[in-house]
Structure 1
Amino acid sequence: MGRTKEFDPDAALRSAMELFWRKGYEATSMQDLVDHLGLGRGSIYGTFGGKRELYLKAVDRYGEDARVMLVHRLAGPGSGLQAVRDLVRFYGAGALADEDYKGCLMTNTAVELPADEGACRRVASGLETLETALMGALVRARAEGELGPDKDPASLARFLVTLLQGIRVVGKTAVRQRYLDDTVERALALLD
């Protein structure tokens, strides 16, 4: 008969996600995880696998949290165009308010682990989720007459995905205020 876990695996995963998000994959050691989670190595390995497996599970959790947020912000009732505008402004404001300069875990993963196949699959899935959510809101906006017939929802969604990820990267720099001040509104002008 196996021993019962004396900790909450979901809480531990969220805590690991925060540590990886703040420090990055390479800079986080197994000892950092042991200290931060307050768990023994055996508990971490037994529940999550090694550091890489734990990292990928943390990225999965982050991606699921992001998906829930996107559905809430973009698929709800009301103006699809306003929902898109609000999301872009939310990303801009979030980048400027990020006191720890930690950015987006998905974007950080893309930059730090471009050759890791598992990480790349998760990043691609996250980008596709964002694109799909944006495109759905833009299609709805066009159907409601908020977005002109000359505006292609698919192309705009891909542009906005790229813009939002760029906002996350620039948001990690000391000069973010200078670059992000008018970028959001200039980008949103393309929706007019």
Structure 2
Amino acid sequence: MARPREFDTDVAVERAMGLFWQLGYQATAMPRLTALLGIGSGSLYAAFGSKDGLYARALERYCDGLVAALDRDMRAGTDIRTALRGLLITMTTADVADPERGCLLVSAVTERAGHADTVERVRLTVTAMESVLTEALRRARARGELSGEHSPVELARFLTTFIQGIRVMGQARADRAFLESAVSGALRALD
């Protein structure tokens, strides 16, 4: 009979996500992971299969949270420009405050570009972000906030790409004035 698990896997995934987000996949050594989680390597392997398995669960949690937050922000009831500006300024503020942390999604695809499962998770997340933005832009157009000339899909693809680019610039230590100017320029695409 198997021994019952003595740790909460959800808490373990959340803590591991923070460490992977801070250090990246390669720099997150197994001894540091097991110490942070308060478990032995055997327990980690039994619960997640491998460091890759734990990373996949942590990345999935991050991506699901990212898309859910984007959807929540886009449904907040404000006009599209206010909602997008708030979202983008929140991101740039976080990046200026802690540029090394950056975005786990960006880090995942740049650090693990050769890992098919990671690339697929990032692709699915970017597609989900695009869908959320497309629907928000369609609602904005229906409310008269966006010209009928604009394609919600094209604007959503531009904004999805811009969001990832602004996160990279934050990690590259761009200053607040640069980032806020870029946000203002991106929002002009809605005019």
TM range (shorter): over 0.9
Number of the residue aligned with 2:37: 37
- What RMSD over aligned residues (CA atoms) do the two structures have, in Å? 1.5
Please tell me whether residue 114 in structure 1 is matched to residue 113 in structure 2.
Answer: yes
Please tell me whether residue 10 in structure 1 is matched to residue 18 in structure 2.
Answer: no
Q: Which runs of 5+ in 2 are unaligned?
A: none
| Cα distance change of structure 1 residues 77 and 179 upon mapping to structure 2, 3 Å threshold | closer
Percent of matched pairs sharing the same residue: 38
SS at match of 1:123: helix
Number of the residue aligned with 2:91: 91
Deviation at 1:114, TM superposition (A): 0.8
Deviation at 1:150, TM superposition (A): 1.4
Give the distance between the partners of 1:57 and 1:164, measured in 2 at CA: 23
Look up the equivalent residue of 2:187 and give its one-letter code.
L
Mapping for residues 130-169 of structure 1, pairs under 5 Å: 130-169=129-168
Number of the residue aligned with 1:60: 60
Give the distance between the partners of 2:134 and 2:87, measured in 1 at CA: 13
Number of residue pairs matched by the alignment: 191
Residues 81 and 137 in structure 1, CA contact (< 8 A), matched pair in contact too: no
Residues 17 and 55 in structure 1, CA contact (< 8 A), matched pair in contact too: yes
Deviation at 1:76, TM superposition (A): 4.1
Number of the residue aligned with 1:82: 82
Give the distance between the partners of 1:178 and 1:144, measured in 2 at CA: 32
Give the distance between the partners of 1:17 and 1:174, measured in 2 at CA: 23
Higher mean displacement: 33-42 or 116-125: 33-42
Higher mean displacement: 99-108 or 83-92: 83-92
> TM-score scaled to structure 1, two decimals?
0.93
